[in-house]
Amino acid sequence: MTPVSSHSPHGQSTLRTVQVLGGGNAGSSAHVRSLSAGLVARGVRVTVCAPFDAEYTHDFSGAGAEHAPVPRSSDPASVAALRAVCADADLVHAHGLHASFRAVLALSGRSTPLVVTWHNHAHAEGARAHLLRMLERRVVRAASVVLGTTSDLVDRARRTGARDARLAPAALPGPRPPRHEEPDRAKFRAELGATGRPLLLAVGALERHRGFEVLLDASRAWRRLDPAPLVAVAGEGPLRAALQRRIEDEGLPVRLLGRRDDAAELLAAADLVVQPSRWESRSVLAQEALHARVPLVATAVGGVPELVGDAAELVPYGDPEALADAVVRLLGDPERREELRHKGERQAAHWPTEDETVAQVLSVYDELTQPRPML
């Protein structure tokens, strides 16, 4: 791969970039942390604009970046603070719709190149959905380049008016989830209530687009299995009370675990991972499942088919019968589960590494900041 330069077109010795995060979901925040570390290692100066809690969780300073605590609000004071941080930047890179919109406001009247990465698609209904579409149009038309982590996000950016939209899959940062020794795995499963029965794992915010209501519908069919599998759902959100009422009223084999910080251990303990979402981009859960050799049942939505290929059981969204049948088949077919484990390893081997992700992004930076030769 041709090395890229970190020299600034403005006479400085080093390219200076500002990475802008909003609230930042776990995937985009981890990506910015990984990207910052890779850029710093290549001689780029990096400032990460993110709330205090994001720095506490992801330690951007530990990656060699400067952390500038900027609130996630789009009020004038926050935008002015972001504008000040970006004053001497050679390039600004914003992650997610709301962070990108604030970057557009902060760079108004300036010629600083703006790169925007879409990690996922914002979900809303009614008037809020109309507002989000307006923000999307404003952002993509102002951006020099829009990077989408999946092909459908790139297509969406182009339809919305992006002048330059490109596919830029983000690597899954960090080490692969560790496999427990069997005694530890058994103890962990016992603590969850899954001794002597299969354990299905789902992870995500308890919000409507995650499809957990469909998951509960599907779980009715699993009650007839002997032993009946336990569905463990890790995550928190506004639907928790409604989901818990259904679990109790209908006697469903589902346990809501709340927010957890032991995702690797949960994954290592699971027999299957279930992802019933209405939409996913480059799903972190799907990547972690394949890396950890845990068979995956997921909805064929968004970027999931492109990501997993034939290394997972894919079902339509909103079809509890199809979801239930896929799980029942897999639980009863150890050979198919082993086949998916091997296919998952092969599929994951083709995903970009962190180093390749950084190199691709830096090549975009160079393209936007290096002076063009006179014709």
Q: Return phi, psi of residue 270, to 5°.
A: -80, 150
Decide: 143 and 112 in contact? Cβ < 8 Å. no
Strand order in the sheet with 230-234: 254-258, 230-234, 199-203, 272-275, 296-299, 313-315
Give the angle subtended at the CA of 248 by the CAs of 242 and 249, to the nearest 5°: 85
Decide: 138 and 163 in contact? Cβ < 8 Å. no
- Tell me if 16-171+353-368 shares its fold with 182-349: yes
CATH architecture of 182-349: 3-Layer(aba) Sandwich (3.40)
Model pLDDT, residue 53:
85
CATH architecture of 16-171+353-368: 3-Layer(aba) Sandwich (3.40)
Q: Which among 83, 93, 142, 89 has a CA at the least distance from the CA of 117?
A: 93
Q: Which among 48, 369, 327 has a CA at the least distance from the CA of 57?
A: 48
The DSSP H or E segment spanning 26 is helix 26-41
Residue 77, classified by CB atoms within 10 Å of its CB into exposed (0-12), middle (13-18) or buried (19+), is: exposed
Model pLDDT, residue 123:
65
Instruction: For the chain of 375 residues, list the mean pLDDT of each consecutive stretch of 10.
Output: 46 81 76 95 96 88 94 86 96 94 95 94 72 91 96 94 94 58 74 93 94 98 93 96 98 95 90 96 92 96 95 98 97 97 95 95 96 62
CA distance 50 to 139: 19
Q: Return phi, psi of residue 315, to 5°.
A: -130, 160
DSSP 199: E
> How is the chain split into domains, by residue range?
16-171+353-368, 182-349
Model pLDDT, residue 311:
98
